[in-house]
Chains A and B, each alone.
Chain A
Amino acid sequence: MIGKLIKHEMKAGARRMSNIYLAAAIACGAMLFSAFFKSGFMRFITSAAVVIIAAVAVVVTFASVVFGANKTLFGREGYLTQTLPVRTSSLIFAKWFASSVWVFISYLLAAVAFIGVFVYWTTENQEGAQIYDMIYSFLQGFGIGAEAVYQNYLLISAVIGVFNASIFVMYVFFAITLSNINPFHKLGTFGVIIYLALTIFVIQGITYALEGICDITLLIESTGMSMTVSEDAVLLATQAGGMSIGFTGVYFKTIVTVFLYILTVQLTETKINLK
């Protein structure tokens, strides 16, 4: 059943997101088409459109996650989803998974659009090559010489970015669920924002406190990657011509996300009143 739930969630997401992705594709096409003209204004307008639409796609995706979850779980459509012969845990997992996939796709779209616009504007002129040289010199100034180091750094940062987006989706689900149960529902839709902000504030506060106690860091060096627990990890990485990424928050937020998932399922199973 979980496969069917995910299938229908993906289809519903596609229906909600199709217009904005179509707009992004048209803007990209227009940008590429503008290369045939010598008009700088046309190139600027189409490039700006790509950047704006890609940024809007990310915002629309998050809005779609919030409103979609609220409507399909606790709004009118809840009369369908809550009466399906599936476990609540499966229902919420499917929604979380599909939402995370759509957030990932929108992030990817935005990244490709930004990089695409950057490459589009820098490859055709001399200044472009100079910008690449400047970035490379800047990184070398920090002692980061090996290309593999910042390739791995970018790759792991991107994975953590997607991870953070998916845990944010779970925070949203928890806040929406809380705003639909007695007595927390009194704040209405505004409650979602309040509970989400409180959830982020508390979790981020604990994360900072934990990093002060036990700073788990991933060291990325030209010779490979290693995990370390050291207050001087950043310094060590820089001295070795490498880079570092904090992992305490990743571990803690993974545990918190599992906990919030269980709590969201529990609240939905015991406290929900469909209006």
Chain B
Amino acid sequence: MAEMEYAIKVRNLKKSYTKGRLILDDVSFDIPAGKIVGLLGPNGCGKTTLLKILSGCIHDYSGKIIINGNVPGVVTKATTAFLPDTTYLSEYFRTIDAIDYFNDFFYDFDKVKALEFVSRFNLDPKQKIKTMSKGMQEKVQLLLIMSRAARLYLLDEPLGGVDPAARESILNVIMENYAEKSTLMLSTHMVNDLESTFNHVLILGHGKVLVNTAIDNVRSSGKSLEQVFKEVIGNDWEVD
């Protein structure tokens, strides 16, 4: 298969925060382009670290990474949309400031679409981030990311800590608005709820890739994704 048909190619990726403990231990995998990838694994298995490395937020690692044919840098950042699991906007920003900021720097950002999201989410474009609730801040961050026509979306726990109704709404926004033919990697603990959404799955555990396959292969085994997850993770699932 040609290089450009893979959204992500990772070879021998190693990452540790403290000496002697590898959070990612010689990890290698490929993710075909155009897939909706579920990034699964117990807490501390390296999901967030992997997403941070792919998005360019962590530079201190060894190994080789290719994103849509390029090593991580200015080119990949221009085509990768990353939603971290934390509030990253300046507290002085108003929603409209954040939209203008993204519009200035990302050529694939659609300002009209972003403003439509503002109305849809009932947000005040002139309200400052610091006066918003956590849920409102998450909506602003989500609308910024989903207003981009990126080639790769990296979403870190976008459904964590929200009620079921909001979860469904957020998932709809993601699925309705990610750019066609792009790749979407979404980390989550909600294995059961999202099984039907994914068409590819990457399970990390003990610093290794435990499963990297199309969801059809999981289904053809006659097991649910949750069953496969519990099997490969073993006891770690219980402490999760």
Contact = CB atoms under 8 A, between A and B. Distances in A.
Interface in A43-78: 72, 76-78
Interface of B: 17, 52, 55-60, 74-75, 77-78, 80, 82, 84, 86-90, 92, 101, 104-106
A270 B57 contact: no
A12 to B, nearest CB: 7
A32 interface: no
Given A79-B86, A84-B105, A274-B52, 11 more contacts: A4-B105, A76-B87, A79-B84, A80-B101, A83-B55, A83-B56, A85-B77, A85-B105, A182-B17, A272-B60, A274-B58
Contacts of B52: 273-274
A77 B82 CA distance: 13
A1 interface: yes
Given A76-B87, A84-B77, A273 B82 contact: no
A182 B60 contact: yes
Contacts of B106: 85
A7 B97 CA distance: 13
A271 B60 contact: yes
A274 B106 CA distance: 21
A268 B57 contact: no
Contacts of A80: 88-90, 101
Nearest to A16: B92
Interface of A: 1, 4, 7-8, 12, 15-16, 72, 76-80, 82-87, 181-182, 268-274
A86 B75 CA distance: 9
Contacts, number: 68
Contacts of B92: 12, 15-16
Contacts of B77: 83-86
Contacts of A269: 59
Q: Give the 3 A-B residue pairs with the shortest CB-CB distance, closest first.
A: A85-B78, A79-B88, A274-B57
Contact of B59 (A1, A15, A72, A268): A268
Nearest to B88: A79
A86 B77 CA distance: 8
8 contacts: A79-B84, A79-B88, A85-B75, A87-B74, A182-B17, A270-B59, A272-B59, A274-B52
Given A77-B88, A274-B52, A83 B101 contact: no
A269 B80 CA distance: 18
A1 B77 CA distance: 14
A136 B9 CA distance: 74
B63 to A, nearest CB: 14
Contacts of A86: 74, 77, 105
A206 to B, nearest CB: 30
B143 to A, nearest CB: 14
A133 to B, nearest CB: 50
B50 to A, nearest CB: 13
A82 B53 CA distance: 11
Nearest to A75: B88
Contacts of A273: 17, 52, 58-60
A78 B59 contact: no
Contacts of B86: 76, 79
A41 B77 CA distance: 60
Given A83-B80, A84-B77, A12 B57 contact: no
Contacts of A77: 88-90
Nearest to B75: A85
Contacts of B75: 85
Contacts of A72: 90
A82 B60 contact: no
A36 to B, nearest CB: 38
Contacts of A182: 17, 60
A122 B17 CA distance: 62
Nearest to B55: A83
A4 B104 CA distance: 7
B105 A1 contact: yes
A228 B61 CA distance: 50
